Structure 1
Amino acid sequence: MVIRMLLLLLTVLGLAPVARAKEPRPLRVLWCTGGGYHDYKGLTPYLTGKMQKYANVQFDVSTDYKAWADKGFADKYDAVVFFFSQHDPTAKPVVDNIAATIHAGKPAVFIHGSLHSFRELGPDRDPYCEAIGLTSVVHDPLRPLETKKVADSPITRFWPDDWKTPSDELYQNVKLWPNATALLTAYSQKSKKDHVVAWTNHYGQGRVFGTSLGHDRNTAGMEVYPHLLANGLLWVCGELDDNGQPRSGFGGAKAAK
């Protein structure tokens, strides 16, 4: 009775211990990588570490692309990031399963070389490209690029209007799929056209963010680049608000300072 009265008194005085709201767990994300033409071994730890400044996320890394043909390869993850370069004429089960996994609702991010992977499949690659939201088969040589914002999006609201990279590959667009929305473009000296270099997509129940930027550290080493990837990841997971800020509990180490 005495203890009960004491607790009542403490509550009235505002001194009773209050249960703290449970913080959201970090997003658990599968980072699919590997292959040639790029420094995936160096860029993977660099980018995942940098992204954690902007998003509350933990990464597991997968380098066996054939395992991505397993129907359950992404089941325990909140999202999947694809950052790889693979060429295999027998990989139709891989591309079909990636597309089906996203169509069923798994959020995904596609970066640079993943757009050109498995080009040798020809039209059999179309479901994969539709899931990405953009088809590309060739790129310009490495050169300086300047981006232009073409849509208002929380993902790119922070992005500088006059952003330039000293060197990157411009992936020429063959097709921007109907459910995709261009966010950033850059001009090709080869085709004499603007090409989409960052976009969002809806494929079935899945949300997708993609960027063709990021060949090497000339772009990846600029602080805005991992911020862009982190915002895209948060957006596909529904954890980026309309102002381009992480929802409560999903900001990274930088937001926590």
Structure 2
Amino acid sequence: MSLFSKIILKFFAAVFLGLSVLHLPVSSAEPVGFPNGESQLVNRLEAGKAQTVVTYGTSLTSGGAWVNQFAAALEERWPGKAKVLNSGAGGMWSTWGVENLESRVIAKKPNTLFIEFGINDAYLDYKTSVAKARANLENMIKRVLAAKADTEIILMTMNPPIANRLKARPEIKHYYEMYRQLAKEQGLKLVDHAVHWERVLEQNKNVFHRYVPDGIHPNAEGSGDITTSTLLSCLGVPPVSAPGKIKVLMVGGRGSHDWSGFYDILNLLLTKAGDFVLDLTLEIDSLREPYISNYDVVLFYGPGGDFTDPNQEKGLHDFVKNGGGLAGVHATDAFKRSDVYWRLMGGRFTTHRGGEFTIRIMDESHPVTSPFGDFRIHDETYQNEYHPKFKLHSLFRMDRGQEQQSMGWVQDYGKGRVFNTTLGHDGNAWKSEAFQAIVRRGIYWAAGREPK
């Protein structure tokens, strides 16, 4: 297991994405795209230049697991080249940031500087207006660039607070919006963590509470799954070289289903198999070229989501058409505005029931299902409308009264392969050994490998 994986017990999302300086409305629940190229940090490290990185902010930085996770990821990719210095301080805000900038930032001569003070500038007791917070931020930016003009300054929004932590910061969204506006106006890079955190909070509160148990400070798991994975994706940190391995990119962060719990199960399953590298991304922009081409298989889990840029949809389509693998697990109720996604997955969710039922193997000779006999499972019973251009090759179906629909199928699309199962709603299904084995074998097959 890699150094970074040991620290966060996850494989990080690693796709070549740039950083956004686009305006995002406060009410938006969609992630910002990253069209502006890689970060200077990655470009310089790729060129073999040693880099000093300073992180400057609140307790979300000083005690945040993301800083060590980020440092470990850079060390794993560029050994000995990146020094990450944590200059954050618990309980501090941007006024403190201005007062301590010389000793905590400028004196360290950073090549890249991350700044986040929004969470505490919004704290009522500090009586720091949005305008004052902006003035403080502008002061820090100006002084850092005056001292070292080639410093790459990256602004960050962070996770939203909840419950009593939110009551003490009722205007937090306006402070985060100020960061977006200032980044846009000054042409600075922005990593908009808040977008992803807000989506998790809106769509799956149980996951958010697991990630942020005290209502404001993400734990190591939450930092790894949301903050660190977003940061690495946005910076364009490439995957660690793994010759011979099947590189799988799971697209998570959508819908009300526990995509994080499924990721944990899938990570253990594929790690045990020994032939895979599994990365997690919350960025739909990961589907754009050339980023998607870093992977052998793209896997979608669960419902929800929309493409926000035609290049995302085109990237996925061309990836599969040109020989990439696609796997869907309980994912036909996703991207329902997209004809491309419907065509690739074959089916689109219409309705469901649930409970325990029998799965009948329909194709006993196919490499995915050849080892299996019929089995019982407790799950949702998705029904689907098939795309007019899709020809169903059913691997297995359910058998319960009038419910006889296919629950798993495959297709060839161009030079690529698609494996799709509508099973996998929650832990009741995930714990099934037959389900796990079918998913594993389906991913092997989608990658063009012999299933095992």
Pairwise TM-score range, normalised by the shorter structure: 0.7 to 0.9
Name the stretch that deviates more: 85-94 or 33-42.
Answer: 85-94
Look up the match of 1:52. 271
What is the deviation of 1:25? 2.4
- Give SS of 1:75's match: helix
Inter-CA distance 169–218: structure 2 relative to 1 (3 Å threshold) = same
Inter-CA distance 96–24: structure 2 relative to 1 (3 Å threshold) = closer
Look up the equivalent residue of 1:213 and give its one-letter code: L
Look up the match of 1:154. 367
- Give SS of 2:319's match: helix
**Counterpart among 122, 130, 152 of residue 343 in structure 2:** 130
State the distance in 2 between where 1:69 and 1:24 align.
22
Look up the match of 2:335. 118
What TM-score do you get using the length of structure 2 for normalisation? 0.43
* Conserved 8 A contact 2:292-2:316: no
State the distance in 1 between where 2:310 and 2:320 align.
16
Inter-CA distance 64–159: structure 2 relative to 1 (3 Å threshold) = same
Q: What do you get for the CA RMSD once the two structures are aligned?
A: 2.4
* Conserved 8 A contact 2:255-2:305: no
What is the deviation of 1:102? 1.0
Alignment of 1:1-257 (within 5 A): 25-54=244-273, 56-65=275-284, 67-88=285-306, 90=308, 93-112=311-330, 114-119=331-336, 121=337, 125-132=338-345, 134-151=346-363, 152-161=365-374, 163-166=375-378, 168-175=379-386, 177-187=389-399, 192-240=402-450, 246=452
What TM-score do you get using the length of structure 1 for normalisation? 0.73
State the distance in 2 between where 1:145 and 1:204 align.
34
* Conserved 8 A contact 2:292-2:315: no
* Conserved 8 A contact 2:325-2:448: no
Q: Deviations over 1:20-45 (max 9, x none)?
A: xxx96221211111212211112202
Inter-CA distance 75–203: structure 2 relative to 1 (3 Å threshold) = same
Inter-CA distance 153–224: structure 2 relative to 1 (3 Å threshold) = same
State the distance in 2 between where 1:193 and 1:42 align.
28
What is the deviation of 1:231? 0.5
State the distance in 1 between where 2:306 and 2:249 align.
22
Look up the equivalent residue of 1:174 and give its one-letter code: E
* Conserved 8 A contact 2:397-2:406: yes
> Which protein has the bigger helix share?
2
Look up the equivalent residue of 2:434 and give its one-letter code: V
Query: Percent same amino acid at aligned positions?
Result: 23
What is the deviation of 1:56? 1.1
Q: How many corresponding residue pairs?
A: 209
Q: Deviations over 1:114-157 (max 9, x none)?
A: 211122x2xxx22222111x222223222112111111311112
State the distance in 2 between where 1:188 and 1:214 align.
18
What is the deviation of 1:99? 2.1
Name the stretch that deviates more: 209-218 or 220-229.
Answer: 220-229
Name the stretch that deviates more: 192-201 or 83-92.
Answer: 83-92
- Give SS of 1:102's match: helix
What is the deviation of 1:197? 0.7
What is the deviation of 1:203? 1.0
State the distance in 2 between where 1:178 and 1:63 align.
28
Unpaired segments ≥5 residues, structure 2 = 1-241
* Conserved 8 A contact 1:185-1:196: yes
What is the deviation of 1:165? 1.0
State the distance in 2 between where 1:91 and 1:183 align.
33
Structure exhibiting the larger radius of gyration computed from Cα positions: 2
State the distance in 1 between where 2:381 and 2:294 align.
34
State the distance in 2 between where 1:144 and 1:82 align.
24
- Give SS of 2:438's match: helix
> Which protein has the bigger strand share?
1
State the distance in 2 between where 1:213 and 1:62 align.
22
Look up the equivalent residue of 1:170 and give its one-letter code: T
Q: Deviations over 1:28-82 (max 9, x none)?
A: 21111121221111220222212333351111111122x1452223111122111
Unpaired segments ≥5 residues, structure 1 = 1-22, 247-257
* Conserved 8 A contact 1:51-1:227: no
Inter-CA distance 95–36: structure 2 relative to 1 (3 Å threshold) = same
State the distance in 1 between where 2:270 and 2:436 align.
5
